[in-house]
């Protein structure tokens, strides 16, 4: 009942949020097989609580300049790191955010970020993102996103990404690096599958990218990114020439 009150349409009765969070914490221990479900629900309620008022949200905001903001939107950076978040959900109260730090959480999905059309800097390092398809919401931020950190996730750790088979047949194509022409092209000999990455990074206009610490990242993949992303200036902390 407390959970229904928090998730009800209109103004949520967040007086019950603390009770709901405590219940989910207990259920994680009592019902291990459904631990991930309770963890996801906990994250959604917690974020709703954090974004419920200016006072609660200001605790997680950071300004580039020292001043006392008269408007919440003057706080350009929102730090939601180290909160054990596994899901994001709806972010309708955060449409003003330009810089967002979600590092050191347990995110396996970033659905909801596509709503932040002003977002230019995003830190997703040290999470549990397991595939490039998990980054799909970023394609909707191609006009704003300039800095992205997805280092030290689990991209490539799972051999099979079941979500790719929900896509049309082109997603099963492979890309081959041709050293003679210094470019990647379709092919079938000694191929390396970069199509998932291409579908994401090919849409973005990044200037800075950190991707080290993922299983899928090796020398060939780095070469692929450098060739694909012409506007990229910094990669894993090193300036590109």
Q: What percent of the chain has pLDDT above 70? A: 74
pLDDT at 230 over 70: yes
Per DSSP, helices labelled H in the chain are 2-7, 17-30, 35-50, 54-58, 195-201, 219-228
Taking residue 236's Cβ as centre, other Cβ atoms within 10 Å add up to 15
Q: What is the mean pLDDT of residues 224-234?
A: 93
Q: In angstroms, rounded to a whole number, what is the distance separating the alpha carbons of residues 198 and 225? A: 9
pLDDT at 31 over 80: yes
pLDDT given at position 6: 61
Does the predicted model carry a pTM greater than 0.75?
A: yes
Q: In angstroms, rounded to a whole number, what is the distance separating the alpha carbons of residues 227 and 214? A: 19
pLDDT at 163 over 90: no
Q: If 0-12 CB within 10 Å is exposed, 13-18 middle and 19+ buried, where does residue 110 land?
A: buried
Q: In angstroms, rounded to a whole number, what is the distance separating the alpha carbons of residues 109 and 136? A: 10
| Structural domains in the chain plus CATH codes | 1-50 (no CATH), 51-156+165-239 (3.80.10.10)
pLDDT band at 220 (very low <50, low <70, confident <90, very high): very high
pLDDT given at position 13: 55
Where on the phi/psi map is residue 39: left (φ > 0), alpha (ψ -120 to 50), or beta?
alpha
Q: In angstroms, rounded to a whole number, what is the distance separating the alpha carbons of residues 14 and 18? A: 8
pLDDT digits (tens, 9 = 90+) for 176-193: 444 433 445 444 323 345
pLDDT given at position 3: 67
pLDDT given at position 188: 35
Phi, psi (deg, nearest 5) at residue 210? -120, 120
Q: Kindly give, in sequence order, each residue whose CB lies less than 8 Å from that of residue 69, ignoring residues fewer than 6 positions away.
A: 63, 75
Give the residue from 223, 225, 228, 208 showing the smallest Cα distance to 123: 208
pLDDT digits (tens, 9 = 90+) for 90-102: 898 899 999 999 9
Q: In angstroms, rounded to a whole number, what is the distance separating the alpha carbons of residues 22 and 49? A: 13
Cα angle 98, 102, 108; round to 5: 125
Q: In angstroms, rounded to a whole number, what is the distance separating the alpha carbons of residues 188 and 171? A: 14
Q: In angstroms, rounded to a whole number, what is the distance separating the alpha carbons of residues 123 and 82? A: 12
Residue with tokens 């180290």: 82
Mean pLDDT check: name the lowest of 18-32, 130-144, 149-163, 180-194.
180-194
pLDDT given at position 64: 58
Containing 45, the helix (H) or strand (E) segment is: helix 35-50
pLDDT digits (tens, 9 = 90+) for 120-137: 999 999 999 999 999 999
pLDDT at 82 over 90: yes
| Residue 129 or 9, more confident | 129
Q: What is the DSSP letter of 163?
A: G
Evaluate whether 124 touches 149 at the Cβ level (below 8 Å).
Answer: yes
pLDDT given at position 166: 43
pLDDT given at position 160: 55
Q: In angstroms, rounded to a whole number, what is the distance separating the alpha carbons of residues 42 and 24? A: 6
Give the residue from 118, 48, 59 showing the smallest Cα distance to 88: 48
pLDDT digits (tens, 9 = 90+) for 100-118: 999 999 999 999 999 999 9
Length of the chain, please?
Answer: 241
pLDDT given at position 204: 95
pLDDT band at 162 (very low <50, low <70, confident <90, very high): very low
pLDDT given at position 54: 87
């Amino acid at each position: 009942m407390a959970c229904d009150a928090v998730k009800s349409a209109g103004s949520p009765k967040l007086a019950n949020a603390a009770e709901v969070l405590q219940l989910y914490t207990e259920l994680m221990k009592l019902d291990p097989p459904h631990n991930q479900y309770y963890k996801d629900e906990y994250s959604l309620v917690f974020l709703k609580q954090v974004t419920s008022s200016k006072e609660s949200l200001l605790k997680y905001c950071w300004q580039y300049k020292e001043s006392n903001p008269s408007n919440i939107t003057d706080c350009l950076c929102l730090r939601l790191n180290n909160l054990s978040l596994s899901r994001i959900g709806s972010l309708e109260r955060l449409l003003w955010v330009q810089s967002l730090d979600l590092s050191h959480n347990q995110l396996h999905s970033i659905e909801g970020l596509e709503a932040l059309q002003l977002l230019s800097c995003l830190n997703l390092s040290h999470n549990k993102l397991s595939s490039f398809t998990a980054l799909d919401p970023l394609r909707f931020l191609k006009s704003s996103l300039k800095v992205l950190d997805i280092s030290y996730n689990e991209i490539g750790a799972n051999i099979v990404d079941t979500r790719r088979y929900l896509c049309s047949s082109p997603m099963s194509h492979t890309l081959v690096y041709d050293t003679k022409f210094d470019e990647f092209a379709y092919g079938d000999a000694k191929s390396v599958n970069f199509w998932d990455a291409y579908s994401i990074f090919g849409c973005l206009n990044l200037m800075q990218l950190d991707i080290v610490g993922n299983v899928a990242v090796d020398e060939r993949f780095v070469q692929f990114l450098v060739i694909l992303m012409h506007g990229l200036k910094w990669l894993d902390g090193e300036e590109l020439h």
